[in-house]
Chains A and B, each alone.
Chain A
Amino acid sequence: MATETEQAHSTAAAGRGLPDNSADAPGMPQLDFSTFANQIFWLVVTLVVIYLVLSKIALPRIASVLAERQGTITNDIAAAEELKQQAADAEAAYEKALADARVEAGRIADEAKAEMQAEVDSAMIKADAEIAAQTAESASRIDEIRAGAADAVKVVARDTAKEVVAALGIDIDDKAVEAAVASQVKG
Chain B
Amino acid sequence: MAEPSEQTASRTPAFIIFGLVAVVFIFAFINSKSSGLSFYPLDQFNVKPILGKGPVGTFTITNVTLWMALTVAGIALLLVMGTRGRALVPTRMQSVAEMAYGFIYKMVEDVTGKDGLRYFPYIMTLFMFIVFSNFLGLLPLSFTTTSHIAVTAVMAVAVFLAVTILGFVLNGAGFLSLFWISSAPLALRPILALIEVISYFVRPVSHSIRLAGNMMAGHAVIKVFAAFSAIAVISPLSIAAITAIYALEVLVCFIQAYVFTILTCVYLKDALHPHH
Contact = CB atoms under 8 A, between A and B. Distances in A.
Contact of A43 (B53, B98, B151, B212): B151
Contacts of B101: 59, 62-63, 66
Contacts, number: 153
Instruction: Find the residue from B43, B55, B71, B121 having the highest chain A CB count within 10 A.
Output: B121
Contacts of B42: 28-29
A37 B145 contact: no
Contacts of A36: 150
Given A30-B45, A50-B128, A61-B80, 13 more contacts: A9-B38, A21-B55, A21-B56, A28-B216, A29-B46, A30-B150, A35-B150, A39-B150, A42-B68, A43-B151, A62-B79, A62-B83, A65-B90
Size category of the binding interface on chain B: 35 or more
A66 B62 contact: no
A187 interface: no
A30 B212 contact: yes
Interface in B23-50: 32-34, 36-40, 42-43, 45-48
Contacts of A22: 43, 46, 48
Nearest to A26: B42
B244 interface: no
B223 interface: no
| A interface: dominant SS | helix
A64 interface: yes
A40 B150 contact: yes
Interface of B: 32-34, 36-40, 42-43, 45-48, 53, 55-60, 62, 64-65, 68-69, 71-72, 75-76, 79-80, 83, 86-88, 90, 94, 97-98, 101-102, 120-122, 124-126, 128-129, 145, 147-151, 154-155, 212, 216
A105 B216 CA distance: 89
A49 B72 contact: yes
Given A16-B34, A40-B150, A50 B75 contact: yes
A53 B149 contact: no
